[in-house]
Amino acid sequence: MSLIPHTRLRGRQLGLPFVGKTGPNNAITDVAGLEVGFFTRIEECRPVGHENGLARTGVTTIFPCGRAHPDRSVWAGQFSLNGNGEMTGSHWIHDAGYFTGPIALTNSHSVGMVHHGVTRWMIQHVPNMREHHHWYLPVVAETYDGLTNDITALHITEADVLAALDSAKGGAVDEGNVGGGTGMQCYEFKGGTGTSSRRVIVEAHEYSVGVLVQANFGVREDFSVLGVPVGHFWPEDAILTQAGQPETGSVIVIIATDAPLHPVQLQRLAKRGALGIGRTGTTGGVNSGDIMLAFTTHDNRLWNPAELIHGSHIKAVDYLEDNFVDEISRAAAHATEEAVINAMLAAQDMSCIKPEGLTLRAMDPNRLINMLMRYRPLSGLVGG
C-alpha cells in the first residue's frame, strides 16, 4: 500500500485566473466542520502465485459534519446528467430530501464492499444503530478505474473502508492519485481526486461552497481550459481515441455549502455540477455516469428515527429566498470547473493494464501554461 502525496502546483498556484474568491484551503473542507478521508491502495507488483492483478484504487470519504457527528442528517439534492453509474441512497434523497452519515467514493466493483464497510463503521460509532436496530442508507458512489486497476480483483476490503473513514480530517485535501480517484483518467490524461471552494456574500452574510470531484470522464478532443480548446492542440497520448474506444468514464461531483437551502434548491444546486464539468469541455458521453450530489450543513439535525416519529409534528426549515441563490449556484459551477483541473494537475503518470503496455500520462503544467499564453494571453500566469 502506498500513498502518492500532492507535490505538483494547483491551478491558482500556476496563475490560472479562475473566477471567484476561495476559502483558505481552496477545498471542500472550507465548509466548516466538514472532513475528508482517504485510503489508497497502489501495488505495482503482483505477488508470485497470486491471481489478482495490479491494484491502483482506493476509497474517499466525506463527513458533512465531521467524524465526531456521524449521526447528523443534512438536507440534500441529487442530479444525474448521465445515469451509467451508481450512487446508493439517492432514491431516499429524492423522496426525503436528506441523508445521514458519511459519503464514500470508490471504483465501480467495490460499491458493495464500501457500502458494507460504511454500515459497519456506523454501527460501531452510532449507539442508536446498535441499541435500537435503526435502519441506515449509506451514500456510496463510483467511477470506473479498469484502465489502470484490475477492477475484477476486488482489491478493496472492509478494513480499507474503515481506514478511509477513520482518517477523515479538515484542512488541506490531497488530490490526484489518491483515494477513490487513484486509478482514474480525465480527458485521456491521468485524472483522479480534485477539490476547490468559493466564498460568497449574500445580503452581508458570507457563505462557503466547496466541491470535491472524482474525475474520470471526457475525450481529449473536447478538453478546454479557460476557453482554450487544449485537447484540440494536444492529441498525443490520447490512448482511448487512438484505440477507437468511446468515452466510458464517469465523474462524481459532491457540492457542499453552509448556506441555508431547502432540498429543492439543493437539487437545482446539484445540477450546477454538470455546468461545471461542461466548462471543461465535456458534452457527456452516453456510456458515462455523471452524477452530482449537493448538501448543506446548515440546520443539520440529529438522526433519530424515534424522535422524528414521536417528536413535534411541526418542523421548520431555514432557506434563502430563491432570488438570492444565484451566487451560490454560480460558485458551485466555477468551483467544479477548478476542482477538475486541480485533479488533473495533481495527478501522476500511471501505466495501463487495458490497453496493455500504454501509459496514462499526467498533464504537463508547463505545456499547459505555454498553450494558454499562446492562445489566450493571460496576466499572472507563471512565466507570463
Residues marked active site are found at 250, 288, 290
For residues 120-149, b (16+ Cβ closer than 10 Å) or e, as one string? ebbeebbebbeeeebebbbbbbbbbbbbbb
Amino acid code (one letter) for 202 = V
- CA 120 – CA 281 distance, rounded (Å): 40
* Distance (Å, whole) CA 239 – CA 87: 28
Beta bridge partners of 131: none
String of DSSP letters for 59-128:
EEEEETT-TT-TTEEEEEEEEEEEESS-BTTHHHHHHHSEEES-EEEEEGGGHHHHHHHHHHHHHHH-HH
Bridge partners, 58 (sequence order): 40
For residues 96 and 313, what is the distance between their CA atoms, to the nearest angstrom? 16
For residue 101 the three cell numbers come to 452519515
In the sheet with 98-100, reading across from the earlier edge strand, the strands are: 98-100, 72-83, 289-302, 250-257, 205-216, 192-202
Q: What are the angstrom distances between the C-alpha of 276 and each of 255, 279, 301?
A: 11, 5, 29
Neighbour count for residue 304 (Cβ, 10 Å)? 17
Helix, strand or coil, per DSSP, at residue 300: strand
- Give the whole-angstrom CA distance, residue 80 versus residue 250: 11
If one counts every other C-beta atom within 10 angstroms of the C-beta of residue 347, the result is: 31
Cell 476557453: give the residue: 227
Specify the pairing of strand 103-107 against strand 55-63: antiparallel
